[in-house]
Amino acid sequence: MYDLLITGGTIITCNNSFNIIEDGIIGVKDSKISLIGSKDKNKKNLPEYKECVELNNEIIIPGLINAHCHAADSLFRGLVENLSLEDWLQEVWKAEKAILNPETTLLGSYLGLAENLLAGVTTVVDMFWYPFETAKASLDLGLRLCTGGIFIDFPGVGGRTHEQYLVEASDFCSKFNNSEFVIPAVMPHGSYTVGPEHLKDAKKIANDFKAIFSIHAAETMFEQKDIKNRYGDTVIRHLDKLDLLDEKAILAHCVHLDNAEMDIIKATNSIIAHNPLSNLKLGSGIAPTLDFLEKEINVTLGTDGAISGNDLDMWLTMRLAATLPKGKLMKPDIVNAKDVFQMATINGAKALGKSSEIGSLEIGKQADMVIISTNSLHSIPLFDPITHLVYSCSKSDVKHVYIAGKQCVKDGSIISFDIENIIKDVKKLKMPTLNSLL
């Protein structure tokens, strides 16, 4: 007896052979996929089930994995514009300090994580000031989340000290060490905002708990010059010398790297989270994605926060990741749609050490599945589902979302949580104005 059967539709498995199954069937038992294949046309009856969803030409994909986000920054979307990262950050921190506390962070987290969920994201890697609140919002929505204590060397939101950050990071890892839905991490902001000794302290906690370690790295030319002035090294060499790079290190951005830095990332099995929209909008540059792929670095995709890129859209992220290198290098045949789709799914699962559980649709894996509508004008006719997903689809095409076999989004609406009350509370917040930041 299956808890859920999905019949019909084209299944993009994202398995090792990248099999695509037309007119497929998926059976789910106890949150896992226990049947996947082609519908047997000779069989009159379906296997026994509790619930069955019959599809009509829709596409079924593994849930998307957003490898770099600041969900609660959705509260500040559109507030700080037209500035480079360094000036922008000063304004962002002012805005955040004006209204953020654990309660408002919880509201913002619901807002940003719900936007991810509606867009077909089933796992989010999120860095923010109050990780316990982000985790609460995520668990309430039914999403998978990787987050943890942050570190920053100046009095940020909440005015906490390094010692307080250490306790919080350690407590977070302890609490969620065996969680099914929360993957614990330690998240120092960057090597230009956290000194070497404090970075090593953060990594020690990550090592103690075998947790993910995620940091902004090599985002701008300014950052590279700054780290060189301070420590005599480029960013990745600096991180490497501090022993921070390994298969648990997710490096957000990596826009400005030299060849040897890319080799260090590959040699240490570190992971890059590529955030093309945020990099474009802040004028940071365009990451050398083709080089990453040629060096077989694990590249994942992220939206960054809605305060930098103004949305949390993994579909736009995929499209930019696939098209920017072609335009930049004037080569239409590089960074193909399949490469990019893997960045948004299985590569993210590998980055989190969870590739045996999520990131593809295979027997024994968690049933994190997204059903994509193919009824829109831009879906007719549809020649190739992969190029369609990467170059034509948008978040409005996401119809249903299942996480661990549980339906969280139905017909484009969240059903796992009452988001309407959150929207009312967000509207009541006394937000800073554009003028108050100048």
- In the complex, the smallest distance separating the C-beta of residue 263 from Zn ion, rounded to whole angstroms, is 24
Chain contacts with Zn ion (rule: CB under 5 A): 304
Shorter beta-carbon distance to Zn ion: residue 91 or 304: 304
- In the complex, the smallest distance separating the C-beta of residue 127 from Zn ion, rounded to whole angstroms, is 6
Shorter beta-carbon distance to Zn ion: residue 125 or 386: 125
Give yes or no for a contact between 146 and 353, defined as CB atoms under 8 angstroms apart. no
Q: Structure tokens of 272? A: 């890059």
Shorter beta-carbon distance to Zn ion: residue 193 or 347: 193
- In the complex, the smallest distance separating the C-beta of residue 190 from Zn ion, rounded to whole angstroms, is 9
- In the complex, the smallest distance separating the C-beta of residue 135 from Zn ion, rounded to whole angstroms, is 18
**How far apart are the C-alpha atoms of 142 and 6, rounded to whole Å?**
20
DSSP type of residue 388: I
DSSP type of residue 129: S
- In the complex, the smallest distance separating the C-beta of residue 183 from Zn ion, rounded to whole angstroms, is 18
**How far apart are the C-alpha atoms of 83 and 89, rounded to whole Å?**
9
Shorter beta-carbon distance to Zn ion: residue 311 or 362: 311
- In the complex, the smallest distance separating the C-beta of residue 305 from Zn ion, rounded to whole angstroms, is 6
112: nearest Cα among 88, 89, 143:
143
**How far apart are the C-alpha atoms of 280 and 155, rounded to whole Å?**
29
Shorter beta-carbon distance to Zn ion: residue 168 or 304: 304
Residue 89: left if φ>0, alpha if ψ -120 to 50, beta else—which one?
alpha
Q: Structure tokens of 181? A: 């839905």
- In the complex, the smallest distance separating the C-beta of residue 268 from Zn ion, rounded to whole angstroms, is 21
- In the complex, the smallest distance separating the C-beta of residue 20 from Zn ion, rounded to whole angstroms, is 33
User: What is the number of the residue whose Cβ is closest to Zn ion?
Assistant: 304
130: nearest Cα among 77, 72, 78, 58:
72
**What are the contacts of 352-357 at 24+ separation with CB within 8 A?**
352/65, 352/123, 352/125, 352/146, 352/183, 352/212, 353/183, 353/212, 353/247, 353/248, 354/123, 354/183
**How far apart are the C-alpha atoms of 395 and 398, rounded to whole Å?**
6
Give yes or no for a contact between 254 and 245, defined as CB atoms under 8 angstroms apart. no
Instruction: Please state at what angle helix 102-118 crosses helix 419-428, rounded to 10 degrees.
Output: 130
Shorter beta-carbon distance to Zn ion: residue 279 or 374: 279
- In the complex, the smallest distance separating the C-beta of residue 71 from Zn ion, rounded to whole angstroms, is 11
- In the complex, the smallest distance separating the C-beta of residue 124 from Zn ion, rounded to whole angstroms, is 12
Q: Structure tokens of 304? A: 């960054």
Shorter beta-carbon distance to Zn ion: residue 128 or 315: 128
142: nearest Cα among 348, 357, 415, 344:
415
For 177, 180, 183, 246, the CA distances from 210, given in Å and listed in that order, are 9, 15, 10, 11
